[in-house]
Amino acid sequence: MRALKNLKPSVNDASENHTINIGLLGLGTVGTGVYRIIQQHQEDLYHQTNCTIKVEKALVQSIDKQRAIDIDAAALTTNSEDIVMNEDIDIVVEVMGGVEEARQLIAQALEQGKHVVTANKDLVALHGAELLTLASDNDCDLFYEASVAGGIPILRALVEGLSSDRITKMMGILNGTTNYMLTRMSQEGLDYKTCLTQAQELGYAEADPTADVEGLDAARKIAILGTLGFHTDVSLSEVKVKGISSVTKEDIDYSQSFGYEMKLLGMAERDGDEIELSVQPTLVHHTHPLASVNGVFNAVYVHGEAVGETMFYGPGAGELPTATAVVSDLITVVKNLRLGVNGRGMVAPYKEKKLKPNSRVYRPYFIRLVVKDQPGVLAYITQTFANFDMSISQIYQKPLGNERAEVVMITHKVSLASIEAWMEDVETSTEIENIASCYAVEGGKQA
């Protein structure tokens, strides 16, 4: 390895200029943004680190491909070993995406004593704890700010700014595609299918939008936040996930009539030693700051025992916002190199994981029913609620014709176990034709 890897801090070192060589695994949208920022911000990067930062090699699929940046063909390679096994490279930046190949390459780089920065939320959600341990064992930095909420510095806030506090709740709009769609449904009265088509036409949604609309993308991010915020190894499979594909225009309209906005919320909450994690469409009261986060923007609300409420807001994706987060991590790694403290700030999960059972997960719920429009139905609903320790905070009834009606309610706080048991119990009811929708509620005065 080059001498810089074992650089010890001294007055003389601080006055010397060193070149830090970067290896880019991937040169797609984010990789291009990273290269662009490094090239265009050389003066700023030098004054912050007293080092020249240079992209030594970039892994690509085709060297001959036309690119939006001017990069020397000699810096391109199709062989990953030219980066992870290259002794001249100090820091590896993984922006190639995917999971298994990226995991193997990052592990290989860490074992070679190279520091790693990644924007790969899928990888971090599935293998973050394992890779953090490997980084610590090799005295290496592993940073992944760009894996959650793009350009919003939420992970750094948790690790550094709020490190002295005990986080009790993290709740956020973590997917710009779904937030754009729900905003359009809310503000323009459009239906789900129309909004999805428009999101795809604008490039906000993929041709296969499953990861976004079914909540999987947000679930990966809330797993990362849960791991960092609660210092425990949160598995993606432990996040309860429900997407927005079942949300209708009627749900949006009723939400607004009760004073709420519909948002796809990722939630990580700690109660004593127990934690709960979920991603689901949620009615957010209009007085809550998350209710006014619209379009493709992301926001993360954090509650700490000491600091109280804080919220982080900004662009959650895109070439330059995400690349900015990557380069910020790069700067931190370089500063650590100059101080000789790489790997010392890494905190692998150290707390035992205790998941809260559904019987102790409490919140209000929005429920929309299609029922027979006849005497005794409301009394029946009230009785079934009482059977499962449920009660009604707000209720609205609307005739549908043909001896049918819609009954829309917001409950007081009730356990998830009770809601699930009640839904199963009334599934065969003759009075209730179907449960059209059931969503969590956040904020408001339900108790």
398 & 308 share domain: no
pLDDT of amino acid 16: 61
Identify any residues that bridge with 414 across adjacent strands, giving them in sequence order.
363
383 & 334 share domain: no
Distance, CA of 56 to CA of 412 (rounded, Å): 59
- The residue annotated as part of the active site, out of 57, 121, 221, 263, is 221
pLDDT of amino acid 11: 30
Strands 365-372 and 432-442: antiparallel
Q: Torsion angle of alpha carbons 363, 369, 372, 375, nearest 10°?
A: 30
7 & 140 share domain: yes
The number of domains in the chain is 3
At which residue do the structure tokens 């102790």 appear?
360
Tokens of 239: 């996040």
- Per the structure, the complete domain to which residue 185 belongs is given by 171-315
Residue 218 lies in a domain: yes
Tokens of 262: 């519909």
CATH number of the domain to which 395 belongs: 3.30.70.260
211 & 255 share domain: yes
pLDDT of amino acid 322: 85
CATH number of the domain to which 302 belongs: 3.30.360.10
306 & 335 share domain: no
Distance, CA of 419 to CA of 363 (rounded, Å): 10
Residue 405 lies in a domain: yes
140 & 250 share domain: no
* 169 belongs to the catalytic site: no
CATH number of the domain to which 28 belongs: 3.40.50.720
199 & 308 share domain: yes
Residue 199 lies in a domain: yes
Residues in the chain: 447
182 & 265 share domain: yes
333 & 388 share domain: no
Residue 221 lies in a domain: yes
Instruction: Quickly list DSSP for 168-225.
Output: EEEEEE--HHHHHHHHHHHHH---HHHHHHHHHHTTSS-SS-HHHHTSHHHHHHHHHH
Residue 161 lies in a domain: no
Distance, CA of 330 to CA of 89 (rounded, Å): 13
**Average pLDDT by consecutive 10-residue portion of the chain (447 residues)?**
43 61 93 94 92 94 89 93 95 94 97 94 89 91 87 83 89 94 95 94 89 94 92 91 96 96 97 95 96 93 92 81 90 90 74 93 97 93 96 94 93 97 93 95 79
State residue 9 phi and psi, 5-degree precision.
-70, 135
Residue 166 lies in a domain: no
166-225 per-position pLDDT tens digit: 999 999 999 999 999 999 999 999 999 999 999 999 888 888 999 999 999 999 999 999
140 & 9 share domain: yes
Tokens of 133: 């341990």
What type of residue is 368? Answer: R
Sequence-distant (≥ 6) Cβ neighbours of residue 181 within 8 angstroms: 192, 195, 196, 199, 205, 213, 244
Query: Which run of H or E residues covers position 283?
Result: strand 274-285
CB atoms near residue 4 (< 10 Å): 16
137 & 276 share domain: no
3-state DSSP assignment of residue 288: coil
11 & 144 share domain: yes
Residue 370 lies in a domain: yes
Residue 394 lies in a domain: yes
